[in-house]
């Protein structure tokens, strides 16, 4: 279960990098599309840190219960 949570964290990082790539490629040609990808990048980075914090709390709680 914890390995799955770790992989989903990095899925958000991948989405953020893809969004940043699209921002840089579309900024001069299609500004409206670039703004949507700015939103996706910000949300993806936020979700990465949220999921990472949640996973660490879950691991700590599981470790405390085993002792």
| Domain count for the chain | 1
Structural domain including 18 reads 2-66
What is the reported pTM? Answer: 0.82
Share of the chain above pLDDT 70, in %: 96
Is the pLDDT score of 7 beyond 90? no
pLDDT mean over 1-29:
90
Task: Supply the angle between the helices 31-66 and 2-26 in degrees, to the nearest 10.
Answer: 160
* Token representation of residue 50: 């949220």
Share the mean pLDDT of the chain: 91
Q: Mean pLDDT over residues 33-55, rounded?
A: 95
Distances (CA, A) of 16 to 24, 27, 41, 51, 60: 12, 16, 4, 14, 27
Asked if 67 contacts 32 with a C-beta cutoff of 8 angstroms, the reply is: no
């Amino acid at each position: 279960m914890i390995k799955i949570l770790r992989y989903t964290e990095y899925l958000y990082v991948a989405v953020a990098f893809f969004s940043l790539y699209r921002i840089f490629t579309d900024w001069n040609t299609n500004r409206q599309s670039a703004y949507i990808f700015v939103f996706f990048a910000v949300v993806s980075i936020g979700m990465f840190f949220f999921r990472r914090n949640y996973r660490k709390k879950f691991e700590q709680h599981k470790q405390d219960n085993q002792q």
